[in-house]
Amino acid sequence: MGLPEIDAAGEGAAKRERPERPPPCQLCGSPSWWNGWRLVFPVLHRLVDGALERAEQWLARMKCSSCRHGSTLYSPGMYPRRQYQLDVVAEVVATMAFGDRGPTEAAREVTGSPTSARRWTRWVAQLCAPARLIAVTTWIDPDASAGAGMAARTSELCDRWRVSRVLDALETLGGALVRAGVTLGSCSGLGRVLEWQHRSHGEVVGLCCEPRRLSPPMALGP
């Protein structure tokens, strides 16, 4: 499956849209001011029909009037510093973990490379211990029973088994967040959980590190 080509000039179709006023600084809470725009070309799933799209988006930049922290305003479901957005990554990793497709075949669906598919799988497998995700899920939704009895075994699991358990735990936590009323633009558990961390704490999880924290009680919310 090929991705539609974007306008080579890069400034064709995308609109520059932003609220009248920027949100307060995420670090110190002081008012911010708008500070220009940035053009990005993420690969994402369209929310309306799930089709894959290489989008062209203008993102509004802002700057804190007090601590001078600069940041970018992301639309729901949009994760920073990633060309392939998290729902797309989750789909490729799940295809390999739960199906019988290898990295070449799984990556072809999203016009990615097998190297990326392998890297994404390793990243998700090491992203967070399933037991930790289950503990947060139980805290948000005490009735959720997913993963019961699994925690003690996680260190013994092979890579493919481990990544499937992490994906399962992310899906369950993502579902609990939605039931708790958190507004999220992502569709996958991976996307929902990391979007939640980003919105709550400004934390951006890179390809080689796990979340520093999964939100404490006071931070539950969009």
Binding site for Zn ion (CB under 5 A): 25, 27-28, 30, 64, 66-67, 69
Least Å from the CB of residue 199 to Zn ion? 17
Q: Which is nearer to Zn ion, 34 or 58 (CB)?
A: 34
Least Å from the CB of residue 76 to Zn ion? 23
How does DSSP assign 28-39, residue by residue? Answer: T---EEEEEEEE
DSSP 3-state assignment of 48? coil
- Rounded to a whole number of angstroms, the distance between the first and last alpha carbons of the chain is 34
Least Å from the CB of residue 25 to Zn ion? 3
Q: Which is nearer to Zn ion, 47 or 219 (CB)?
A: 219
Both tokens of residue 137? 């899920």
Strand segments (E) across the chain: 32-40, 43-45, 52-54, 57-64, 70-72
Q: Which is nearer to Zn ion, 70 or 222 (CB)?
A: 70
Least Å from the CB of residue 64 to Zn ion? 3
CA-nearest of 18, 46, 15, 49 to 34 is: 18
Q: Which is nearer to Zn ion, 27 or 51 (CB)?
A: 27
Q: What is the largest CA-CA distance in the chain?
A: 54
* CA 117/CA 109 separation, integer angstroms: 11
Q: What is the DSSP letter of 175?
A: H
Least Å from the CB of residue 26 to Zn ion? 8
Q: Which is nearer to Zn ion, 32 or 186 (CB)?
A: 32
